Structure 1
């Protein structure tokens, strides 16, 4: 039996690109949002996956460890546009 998952685009799904201050440097940050997953690519060498929780918080589930301040910045940039 095939598991039926919700595959409809969620609000704000898509690709985003913006500058972010990371380790005292201004770097390009690319985010691909799919449903409740955010795939984060910073300066082509830092990768992480974030998951949007039901309560609205973002939790890192894999990849290079990101500081909480960076996760919060990404959340504000993507979710509050």
Structure 2
């Protein structure tokens, strides 16, 4: 099966919105390859380090909430 990495990245970014705390921080309990791609896209700060959470950029925070609504909200479904 060929995987659409952009769709996976969008789903993970949306799920990061569920674990937000302290404003822009989210738990980094997702696949490291996805987190690396999100970092390269400028949506999260470098996730490498001892902390169990990472920081979403302003763009990442905005897109995370938007994607969560699109992918998981009943309001967006017919």
TM over 0.5: no
Q: Which has the higher helix share?
A: 2
TM-score, scaled to structure 2: 0.30
Task: Name the structure with the higher strand share.
Answer: 1
